[in-house]
Amino acid sequence: MPRVSVIIPVWNLWDMTAACLRSLAEHSAGGADCADGGLEVLVVDNGSSDATAEQLPALGRDLFCKNFKALRLPQNMGFAIACNAGARAASGDLLFFLNNDTRVTRGWLPPLVKALENPKTGATGPLLLYPDGRIQHCGIAVSPFRRLWHIYEYFPGAHALPRKQRPLQAITGAALMVRRKYFFEAGTFFEEYRNGFEDMDICCALRSRGYALSLTPQSIVVHYTSQTPGRFEADKNNAALLTRRWGADIRPDLHSLAARDGYLLRVGPSLTLWLALREELEKSLNAELAERMKAQPSSAAEFLGQRLAEEPLWLDGHLRLMDLLESRGRRREAISAGLSALVFFPLPQVQTRLLRLARREDMTGEELTPLLRRLAEETDSKAEKFRPVVQAARREARGRGDTLLTRIMDDWLVRYGSAGVKQRPLP
């Protein structure tokens, strides 16, 4: 196996760093006993002010012996500078950039190494799960309005669809493996970003050199996500920088990736996006539920839970489960079901049910505020001001010959694009 250098940039959060390192030692050959020199671990400390500086060297040596390096920067220089410093100090043929808010799992390493045996693959990454087992990342897609989207986020972790191979423009830098040679050929992480979009940039640089990107779902890493304070503060400037550098090389693909899997991209009046089932499948599942309700009404909730695990984008199923649980006096469970639905469907019919349930359960104003804000985002009065954005996306889609996206934008303009047009439910 080629030598792998794991590079972990950190800033405070010592407990998370320590847990990450212990997971590496536990689930990697040559960890605690240092019998195998194939894995090197480098932690780059961005001037932490907590226990990191004091405790990191001893723990690293204890877990990885001579295969551990601790680098300390004088102050917080950000993700890109820290990762590049680690890459320059690394000796491995393969570089694995890993956030400290992660835990690797058994067997995580060999599939990633195998994926990079193909010289046409520029970088790969594991399947990332939230601590509750749901999908956090299986590839980055780009919306019609050039926002980044983690496709199939919040799907059940065991679902087959997030494990499917698909053409990707980018994968997250939270857990990214790349050949050392390719990384330096691509120019390393661009250091003008501030804790965001560095992964998109390096992926664009790799693709511009003809390399493909892949997901390696046989490798699983748990990701606690965005634990570093101020993680998103510079996103607006970072996005503008990415557009200046790679705007011509980034194309909307969320709609086409969804279509490959049999789903539809929907766009709300304020440009909120969600994926939906095709009408015939929604009707088929509704008919199946009606039969179950007639034959075995007492098991309907269990049936809905099972089917929603298999098909999380069944909107009517989510709504029926909320209503069924509420009718049986299980309002807290209904609220939980509604919150699960809301991550897929930021729609008034979900939000209003949640608000009604929350008020009956005397939930606090702090808990209700996010629901009220989301509901306000989908009001009819806002639709008109988004028409220029949709028209621009439509022109761009037509210029590329993207007939599917053109139709989606046409549909929005018919439904919402004129002053006074009232919101209608999509078929």
What 3-state class would DSSP assign to 346? coil
CA–CA dist 317, 347 (Å, integer): 14
What 3-state class would DSSP assign to 213? strand
Expressed in angstroms, the distance from the first to the final Cα of the chain is 53
- The full set of domains in the chain, from first to last, is 4-260 (3.90.550.10), 277-378 (1.25.40.10), 387-427 (no CATH)
SS3 of 47-108: the string is CCCCCHHHHHHHHHHHHHHHHEEEEECCCCCCHHHHHHHHHHHCCCCEEEEECCCEEECCCC
User: What pLDDT shows up at residue 426?
Assistant: 42
Query: Residue 297 has what DSSP assignment?
Result: G
CA–CA dist 307, 290 (Å, integer): 13
User: What pLDDT shows up at residue 26?
Assistant: 95
User: Are 32 and 54 spatial neighbours (Cβ–Cβ below 8 Å)?
Assistant: no
Q: Which of 322, 336, 332, 127 is nearest to 216 (CA)?
A: 127
CA–CA dist 107, 353 (Å, integer): 43
- Kindly state the helix (H) or strand (E) to which residue 9 belongs, with its residue range: strand 4-10
User: Are 33 and 124 spatial neighbours (Cβ–Cβ below 8 Å)?
Assistant: no
Q: Which residue, chain included where needed, has tokens 């694995």?
A: 96
Q: Which of 148, 147, 206, 208 is nearest to 177 (CA)?
A: 206
Q: Which residue, chain included where needed, has tokens 């001001």?
A: 385
Tokens of 369: 């505020």
Position 341, amino acid? A
User: What pLDDT shows up at residue 369?
Assistant: 62
CA–CA dist 25, 3 (Å, integer): 16
CB atoms inside a 10 Å sphere around CB 171: 26
User: Are 214 and 124 spatial neighbours (Cβ–Cβ below 8 Å)?
Assistant: yes
CA–CA dist 170, 317 (Å, integer): 32
Per-residue pLDDT of the chain (427 residues; tens, 9 = 90+): 799 999 999 999 999 999 999 999 999 874 444 444 579 999 999 999 999 999 999 999 999 999 999 999 999 999 999 999 999 999 999 999 999 999 999 999 999 999 999 999 999 999 999 999 999 999 999 999 999 999 999 999 999 999 999 999 999 999 999 999 999 999 999 999 998 999 999 999 999 999 999 999 999 999 997 666 555 678 999 999 999 999 999 999 999 999 999 999 999 988 999 999 999 999 999 999 999 999 999 999 999 999 999 999 999 999 999 999 999 999 989 999 999 999 999 888 898 888 888 888 776 555 556 665 656 555 545 678 899 999 999 999 999 999 999 999 999 999 987 644 444 444 4
What 3-state class would DSSP assign to 398? helix
Phi, psi dihedral angles at 280 (to 5 degrees): -65, -35
Q: Which of 261, 148, 258, 130 is nearest to 203 (CA)?
A: 148
Q: Which residue, chain included where needed, has tokens 């621009």?
A: 392
Residues near 59 by beta carbon (within 8 Å), at least 6 away in sequence: 18, 21
CB atoms inside a 10 Å sphere around CB 306: 11
CA–CA dist 397, 249 (Å, integer): 14
Query: Residue 188 has what DSSP assignment?
Result: S
CB atoms inside a 10 Å sphere around CB 115: 19
CA–CA dist 417, 421 (Å, integer): 7
Q: Which of 256, 258, 265, 251 is nearest to 411 (CA)?
A: 265
User: Are 138 and 215 spatial neighbours (Cβ–Cβ below 8 Å)?
Assistant: yes
User: What pLDDT shows up at residue 373?
Assistant: 63
CB atoms inside a 10 Å sphere around CB 184: 14
Position 105, amino acid? T
CB atoms inside a 10 Å sphere around CB 349: 14
Q: How far is CA 192 from CA 47, 83, 146, 239, in A?
A: 19, 13, 20, 12
